Amino acid sequence: MNSITTYLHTAQASRPDALLNDALKKVSPETQKTLRGKAQDFEALFLNSMFSQMTSGIKGEGPFGDTPGTGVWRSMLTEQYSKSFAKSGGVGISNDVFRTLILQQAASAG
């Protein structure tokens, strides 16, 4: 990222999102919680796909070697990594997805 892009990104992140704030007033807290969970699930799905691609070429190492069970174990591990990453903030996808979902809900409610 160059310095102008960094500045614009920082300025945009620090500026309150008036459109989102207005939309949040129109959407119930229960719906907000549900949509936050859906946004996190979406980010976890994206991260799982990314982690799966990153580890697809890795052959089994350690005590288990390259056995058929290693692939199954690795898929479960990447799924848990993905959920953990998304729950702790992820890479920022869930925030944008949440914002979009809230704006859509507010538009349909009002």
> What distance in Å separates the CA atoms of residue 35 and residue 98, rounded to the nearest whole number?
6
Tokens representing 74? 């690795």
Answer whether 100's CB lies under 8 Å from 17's CB: no
Residue 66: how many CB atoms within 10 A of its CB? 10
pLDDT at 11 (0 to 100): 46
Q: What angle do CA 51, 52, 56 make, to 5 degrees?
A: 120
- pLDDT (tens digit per residue) in 21-30: 999 999 999 9
As given in the structure block, the two tokens for residue 70 are 């290693």
Averaged pLDDT for residues 34-53: 92
The string of pLDDT tens digits covering residues 69-110 is: 777 778 888 899 899 998 888 888 999 999 999 999 999 987
pLDDT of residue 33: 95
106 and 22 Cβ atoms separated by less than 8 Å = yes
